[in-house]
Amino acid sequence: MNQSRKFLVISLFAAFTAGFMACDKPGNDVPENPSGPYKLSYGDSIIYLKPGSGDYIVNPVTTRPGEYTGFPDGIEIDETTGAINVSKSETGLRYRITHTSPTGDTTTTMVVLSGITFRDYFYILANGDSVANPVYNACESRALPVAGSNFDDDNTANTGGCAVKTDNGSINLAESVRKGVFGANPKNDDQKTIEIKYRINDASGKSQNKLKVLLYWYETMADVPEYVWEILNDRTTEGVFLRGGATGNDPGFTGRLQKVAKPRPPCVVIVAH
């Protein structure tokens, strides 16, 4: 083989090998020399659990060198790649993901990990405020697809005295007290953590999801201790946990702010009157 043909064969082989290796390279590897502005995205603003035996991992569309962080606490994210372990994260909340480049530049995006939560709220039974309704996909105005869905999937919550409606996920608080969720004779500052497993007929394919809800009991608003007020007042108003997380003044609460969800567990405070 003459020198020109030999050089051509070597060149073609090198080009083919390089192309093959490029196609075989994992899509979430960090590029060595990124260029241009970075648009942090996970493809969809709402990420759903998927059926399967292992952890469900979602990667950014493009990964860049630097550090990835999530806010609030509750999201399991790889600091190097930005990969979100949905299976090990608190679902039903809205998170802000931030990427910080080696030079200190930052870019953010918002994602919702699909599921339900409940508002942190005072429910006064004497005023007929006795049902806690679930919030779906971090937006109180978004309709929960109840047809084909199931709540309290293993009957654990109802067995523990928490009256969760299996068809729509709402909690009848008055009925829960009657069923003895706090025992036969509730006392001020009694607390009960309830786990609710559920399957929603949505893009999750009815994957089993779950959350814990913390119930409190008090006879009157005057019996609510300062630490409970502090918990609710510390709940952020940045609009991260629920969409449009605005606060409002309620005269019945003596000027204190009603604030909405934070990382688990949501606090459902039941007040007799």
Q: Give the number of residues written for the chain.
A: 273
pLDDT value at position 31? 47
Environment class of 128 (CB within 10 Å of its CB; exposed 0-12, middle 13-18, buried 19+): exposed
Which of these three, 81, 113, 145, is where a domain ends? 113
Beta bridge partners of 122: 269
CA distances from 209 to 91, 149, 171, 191, 197 (A): 8, 11, 17, 23, 6
Note whether 95 and 163 are same-domain residues.
no
Burial 11-47 (b: 16+ CB within 10 A, else e): eeeeeeeeeeeeeeeeeeeeeeeeeeebebebeeebb
Note whether 159 and 250 are same-domain residues.
yes
Note whether 210 and 90 are same-domain residues.
no
- Could you tell me the residue range of the domain that residue 183 belongs to? 116-271
Note whether 252 and 124 are same-domain residues.
yes
Environment class of 199 (CB within 10 Å of its CB; exposed 0-12, middle 13-18, buried 19+): middle
Note whether 238 and 225 are same-domain residues.
yes
- Strand 116-117 vs strand 135-136: parallel, antiparallel, or unpaired? antiparallel
Note whether 161 and 204 are same-domain residues.
yes
pLDDT tens digit at each of 273 positions of the chain: 544 444 333 343 343 333 333 333 334 444 444 667 999 999 999 999 999 889 999 999 999 999 999 988 889 999 999 999 999 999 999 999 999 999 999 999 999 999 999 988 899 999 999 999 999 999 989 999 999 999 999 999 999 999 999 999 999 999 999 999 999 999 999 999 999 999 999 999 999 999 999 999 999 999 999 999 888 777 644 445 666 544 333 433 333 333 343 457 899 999 999
CA distances from 159 to 117, 155, 162, 163 (A): 20, 6, 7, 9
Q: Answer whether residue 216 is part of any domain.
A: yes
Q: Answer whether residue 1 is part of any domain.
A: no
Note whether 235 and 194 are same-domain residues.
yes
pLDDT value at position 243? 61
Note whether 105 and 140 are same-domain residues.
no
Number of domains observed in the structure of the chain = 2
Task: Kindly report whether the global pTM for this prediction surpasses the value 0.85.
Answer: no
Query: Residue 80 and residue 88: Cα distance in Å, rounded?
Result: 17
Which of these three, 113, 145, 173, is where a domain ends? 113
Q: Answer whether residue 257 is part of any domain.
A: yes
DSSP-derived secondary structure letter, 210: E
Which of these three, 74, 90, 113, is where a domain ends? 113
Residue type, 273: H
Dihedral sign computed on CA atoms, order 252, 253, 255, 259? negative
